[in-house]
Chain A
Amino acid sequence: MMIREGLFNRILLWAITIAGLIVIYAPPLYLLAVSFNPALQPGVPRLSDLSLTWYAALPHERALVGALQQSLIIATITAVLATGMSLLAALAYFELRATRTAWFLTVILPMFVPGVIQGLALSAVFTRSGIKASTLTVIAGHLLWAMPFAFIVILTSFAAVRRSYLTAAADLGATRWRQFVDITLPLIRPGLISAVIFSFLLSLNEFTRAFYLAGRQNTLPVVLFGKMNSGASPVIYAMSGAIFLVSVGCVALASVHFLLRRN
Chain B
Amino acid sequence: MTAPRLPISSALMTPPLMAILALGLAPLTIVVVWSFWSWDPSTYWIKPDLSLAGYAGILEAGRWTVIVSTLVKAFATALLCLLIAYPTAYAVHFLAGRRLSIILLALITIPFFTSYLIRSFSWRLVLGRTGVLNTWLQDLGMINAPLDWLLFSNFAVIVGLIASYLPFATFPLLLSMRRVDPTFLAAAQDLGAGFWKSLTSILLPLTMSGIFAGFLFVFVMVVGSSTEVQMLGGAGASIVSVMINDVMRVANYPLAFAISTIVLIVIFGLVLIGNRMFGLSSLFEDQSP
Complex contact A248–B114 (CB within 8 A): yes
Complex contact A91–B126 (CB within 8 A): no
Complex contact A28–B117 (CB within 8 A): no
Residues of A within 8 A of B267 (CB): 112-114
Per a CB cutoff under 8 Å, which of A100, A107, A120 touches B16?
A107
Complex contact A20–B220 (CB within 8 A): no
Total number of A-B contacts with CB less than 8 angstroms? Answer: 280
A144 at interface by CB-CB < 8 Å:
yes
Complex contact B16–A28 (CB within 8 A): no
Distance (Å) between the CB of A67 and the closest chain B CB?
13
Report the bound CA distance from A2 to B203 in whole Å: 12
Complex contact A27–B241 (CB within 8 A): no
Per a CB cutoff under 8 Å, which of B16, B27, B163, B186 touches A2?
B186
Complex contact A23–B163 (CB within 8 A): yes
Residues of B within 8 A of A207 (CB): 115-117, 227
Complex contact A162–B288 (CB within 8 A): yes
Residues of B within 8 A of A118 (CB): 24, 27
Distance (Å) between the CB of B185 and the closest chain A CB?
4
Distance (Å) between the CB of A190 and the closest chain B CB?
14
Given contacts A89-B16, A105-B281, contact A5 B195 (CB under 8 A): yes
Distance (Å) between the CB of B210 and the closest chain A CB?
15
A184 at interface by CB-CB < 8 Å:
no
Among the listed stretches B49-57, B60-68, B90-98, which one makes contact with chain A, having 4 or more residues with CB under 8 Å of it?
Answer: B90-98
A215 at interface by CB-CB < 8 Å:
no
A121 at interface by CB-CB < 8 Å:
yes
Q: Is the interface of B mostly helix, strand, loop or mixed?
A: helix
Report the bound CA distance from A149 to B19 in whole Å: 15
Complex contact A14–B91 (CB within 8 A): yes
Complex contact B125–A3 (CB within 8 A): no
Output the nearest chain B residue to A225 by Cβ-Cβ distance.
B117
Among the listed stretches A46-54, A55-63, A255-263, which one makes contact with chain B, having 4 or more residues with CB under 8 Å of it?
Answer: A255-263
Residues of B within 8 A of A31 (CB): 118, 121-122, 125
A-B contact pairs, 18 of them (CB 8 A): A2-B189, A16-B84, A16-B88, A17-B87, A23-B162, A24-B107, A31-B122, A92-B12, A105-B275, A109-B271, A112-B271, A113-B28, A116-B245, A143-B19, A158-B286, A207-B117, A232-B121, A259-B102
Q: Which residues of B contact A (CB under 8 A)?
A: 7-9, 12-13, 15-17, 19-20, 23-24, 26-28, 30-31, 34, 83-85, 87-88, 90-92, 94-95, 98, 102-107, 109-119, 121-126, 130, 132, 159, 162-163, 166-167, 170, 182, 185-186, 188-189, 194-196, 198, 220, 223-227, 230-231, 240-241, 244-245, 248, 253, 256-257, 260, 263-264, 267-268, 271-272, 275, 279-281, 284-289
**5 nearest A-B pairs in the assembled complex, by CB-CB distance:** A114-B224, A121-B27, A159-B286, A95-B9, A92-B12
Given contacts A27-B123, A114-B240, A115-B241, 9 further A-B contacts (CB under 8 A): A13-B91, A24-B119, A26-B126, A27-B119, A104-B281, A117-B31, A205-B113, A225-B230, A228-B117
